[in-house]
């Protein structure tokens, strides 16, 4: 009888371990590129102002000139203190609705005043002068994100 109870106890531990491994595996089976993080109590602003900028370059603009624009825009957060967050990327949509826009930059601010300071900041004005000769079109949308 004691032997049967010991066997059942070992089986329960092993079964519990398998269930635990299964649950861990399920969490790890997220799609490639997805990062799983546990809930962390991080205090951030209640809202941020997103400034979304889309660029279409003039036909014939070379890769070297486009790279200069990318590098110059990427440098703005280190030059303008009012920028709270920044990310960018190039179009990878398969819907074919980009209308020639290839680059998207998202700049985040904590207030409209910060955004307005950014817009007139000498580093942003300088960036605009660098961009102007190769810019085919631009679209800008600002919104408050919760």
d(CA 22, CA 15): 10
Look at residue 17 and tell me if it is in a domain.
no
Look at residue 32 and tell me if it is in a domain.
no
Start-to-end Cα distance in the chain: 62
Across residues 29-55, what is the average pLDDT?
68
Query: Model confidence at 44, in pLDDT bands (50, 70, 90)?
Result: confident
Look at residue 75 and tell me if it is in a domain.
yes
Inform me whether the pLDDT recorded for 128 exceeds 90: yes
| Percent share of the chain, pLDDT over 90 | 68
56 contacts 102 by C-beta, under 8 angstroms: yes
d(CA 91, CA 103): 6
Look at residue 119 and tell me if it is in a domain.
yes
53 contacts 105 by C-beta, under 8 angstroms: yes
Host domain of residue 113: 48-145
Look at residue 30 and tell me if it is in a domain.
no
- Helix 122-131 to helix 112-120 angle (10° resolution) is 60
pTM of the shown model: 0.70
Across residues 112-116, what is the average pLDDT?
98
Q: How far is CA 116 from CA 93, 110, 121, 123, in A?
A: 31, 11, 9, 13
- CATH code at 63? 3.30.70.100
pLDDT for the residue numbered 42: 61
Look at residue 85 and tell me if it is in a domain.
yes
How many structural domains are present in the chain? Answer: 1
């Amino acid at each position: 009888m004691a032997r049967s109870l010991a066997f059942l106890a070992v089986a329960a531990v092993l079964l519990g371990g398998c269930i635990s491994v299964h649950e861990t595996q399920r969490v790890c089976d997220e799609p490639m590129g997805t990062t799983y993080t546990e809930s962390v109590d991080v205090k951030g602003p209640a809202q941020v102002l997103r400034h979304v900028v889309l660029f279409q370059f003039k036909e014939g603009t070379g890769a070297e000139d486009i790279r200069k624009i990318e590098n110059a825009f990427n440098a703005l957060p280190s030059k303008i203190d009012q920028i709270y967050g920044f990310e960018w990327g190039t179009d990878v949509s398969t819907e074919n609705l980009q209308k020639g826009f290839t680059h998207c930059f998202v700049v985040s601010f904590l207030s409209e005043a910060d955004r307005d300071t950014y817009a007139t900041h000498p580093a942003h004005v300088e960036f605009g002068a660098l961009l102007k000769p190769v810019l085919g079109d631009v679209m800008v949308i600002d919104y408050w994100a919760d």
